[in-house]
Amino acid sequence: MQAPIQYHRADDGIVTLTFDAPGQSVNTMTDTMRECLAQRVSELEAAKDDVTGVILSSAKDTFFAGGDLKRLYDMQPADAARLFEATERGKNSLRRLEKLGKPVVAALTGTALGGGFEIALACHHRIALDKPKAQFGLPEVTLGLMPGAGGVVRLNRLLGLAASQPYLQDSKLMSPAEALKAKLIHAVASTPEDLVAQARAWILANPTAAQPWDTPGYKPPGGWTDAPEAKRWISTAAAQVRAKTRGCYPAPEAVVCASLEGMQVDFDTASRIETRYFVQLVTGSVSKNIIGTFWFRANEIKSGAQRPEGVEKKPVKTLAVLGAGMMGKGIAYVAATRGIDVWVKDATQAQAEGAIAAADKLLAKREEKGELDAARRQQTTARIHATDRYEDLAHVDLVVEAVPENPALKADITGSAEPLLRGDAVWASNTSTLPITGLAKASTRPDRFIGLHFFSPVHRMQLVEVIKGAQTSKETLAHALDFVMQLGKTPIVVNDSRGFFTSRVFSTFTREGVAMVGEGQDPASIEAAAMFAGFPVGPLAVLDEVSLALSYNNRLETLKASAAEGRPMPAHPADAVMERMLGEFGRKGRAAGGGFYDYPESGKQFWPGLAQHFVSGGQFPQQDKQDRLLFCMAIESVRILQEGVLDSAGDGNIGSVLGIGFPRWTGGVFQFLNQYGLDKAVHRAEYLAEHYGERFAPPQLLKDKARACAAF
């Protein structure tokens, strides 16, 4: 079998090591690759007198993709010692390479991320092929990990303690031009031939190259830890990272610790310190939660795991968006940026043209940042067409109806527009709560009717909930999924039910926060419980933004519909609080002047009436508050899976984080229960049900899974 690293020595003594993992589209740091690298370095050391220099290159379109995530994901605490030794062996190869005494150049043929970029950092000189889509950097923290092949140690020494943190803690990625500006690569090449020529020329011009940190007397930018600039960073670093992570994400904190400790010792000791923190993260639960959902499940979705088989792909070339409100404008903008021609229809031409103006405003901001030029901005806005006539939509491939949540209005629009469309056009309703099967009754072709629930703001929110109606065909589902992927979004598939998955689960979060207000809890402690559990914002602040009035009206509609369907829903303790807030105090939300918060010019503060009318003396344990917010969403998700609204726990995990802000460190609602321990989760749910309400009672599916020791 072909070795993953090819060794070639030219007549001038320059050796090229070419990464080319057999049977893989990209190079990754497998055990085989690690062993081969050690062997190649040994060969270089043995032939050192006949070696002029070394070029590291790749036979792939990319340079190196980093570590083998499947291998790391499978590592358990019992594997820590073995992982430590394997990591140290791999780092030893890179250390021997950079101390070879010969110039070593990284010829970056394309993207180098994670371990791939760490390999490049171990080289004395880095030259990148100027590919617009190439990226360089260390994204490990986004997966709950940290660089483990010397990235922390080398970046600290190369850039200094403070300047290295955006690339380490925040996983900042760079284009070739950005990496050149940051001095993390030294040159760019216009062609593969130029790349090799520059690498060879540098080797011949620098026969005794060494890393700067291996030069006597070297001081990194900003100095070592006793320098004034470094001391300033050290004085605030721990507080800043804790403010960002709230203790939920160990990776950024590990980066800070490894950086600070590593800059007080020699390189090799710093490297071992880095390995210890790396192993802790790999064998911990948070990295597994994140990798399982946002790497493995996300890649399954991208590869078409949800898509019905046997349906030919048919990209959307022309799109109609009905309604130029906030959602309609957002959908039109995103589609146009993806090369789709969009016709926006509203009651008047002027209203429809608002979508063009809104898109141009967003594009102008991107132009100011240098993300696109004036020509591309103009081309994108030119793809959006405004109309007040349904007749202008007869040619489109797909329609997204994006008018307010009013069944009668949606039915009227369906009846008016659908007869004018092509027979094979797909009709999608953007709705967050209304059952698709009911909306499809207004259609003469319900098999081509589907729900697409976009999230606001559309250009930022990654998730789209794809809702199958009772008669939605597999062809329609496939084409809808293709469209969502074409927009660069992440789809999850749900079966029809009021509130679907995301809206139904999210409402439990906000209602639980309101219920605690009604129970006399300090509103600041409620919001703090959410923040320290890892939610991006507290339930009371969320309700103020979306409107108490709108939320409560949706709740009343849901209660009414459920009663009509013969399955009345139980009362919730939040209902009485909402009735008082709206009816007695006129607190409708931020847009109406204030809700749970007041909004003076200086910022926001809790409405004093909360303390006057609701807060009592007895306060519940703060851990109970955190768990109520986490468990209310997780328990409802299990009910939804049990009812068959969700087909996949994996979709629920991704949807809960990307769509409704469930803490990312958990990996999603179902993975939260998995990592908590299903047996323990059952007992905790029973405790919460006993003390705070039957809504926390563990569903049968959760108890069955716990009994069988079977994870979601």
**Tens digit of pLDDT for each residue in 312-360?**
999 999 999 999 999 999 999 999 999 999 999 999 999 999 999 999 9
Give the pLDDT band (50/70/90) at residue 602.
confident
Question: What is the C-alpha to C-alpha distance for residues 538 and 531, in angstroms, rounded to an integer?
Answer: 6
Three-state SS at 464: strand
pLDDT of residue 706: 97
Residue 1 confidence (pLDDT) above 80: no
Number of Cα atoms under 13 Å in the Cβ half of residue 93: 22
Residue 559 confidence (pLDDT) above 90: no
Domain 503-708's class?
mainly alpha
- Catalytic, out of 385, 453, 479, 572: 453
Question: What is the C-alpha to C-alpha distance for residues 443 and 445, in angstroms, rounded to an integer?
Answer: 5
pLDDT of residue 8: 96
Amino acid, res. 590: R
Domain ranges, ordered by start, for the chain: 5-208+220-283, 318-496, 503-708
pLDDT of residue 603: 87
CATH T-level fold of 5-208+220-283: 2-enoyl-CoA Hydratase; Chain A, domain 1 (3.90.226)
Does the active-site annotation cover 453?
Answer: yes
pLDDT of residue 66: 85
pLDDT of residue 564: 82
User: Which phi-psi region, left, alpha or beta, contains residue 30 (left: φ > 0; alpha: ψ -120 to 50)?
Assistant: beta
Average pLDDT, integer, range 469-498: 97
Digit-coded pLDDT (tens) for 45-96: 999 999 999 999 999 999 999 888 999 999 999 999 999 999 999 999 999 9
Read out DSSP for 336-398?
HHTT-EEEEE-SSHHHHHHHHHHHHHHHHHHHHTTSS-HHHHHHHHHTEEEES-GGGGTT-SE
Q: What phi and psi, each to the nearest 5 degrees, are found at residue 344?
A: -100, 125
pLDDT of residue 200: 97
Three-state SS at 92: helix
Read out DSSP for 290-317?
HHIIIIIIHHHHHTTTTSPTT-------
pLDDT of residue 99: 96
The answer to whether the pTM exceeds 0.75 is yes
CATH T-level fold of 318-496: Rossmann fold (3.40.50)
Average pLDDT, integer, range 557-584: 89
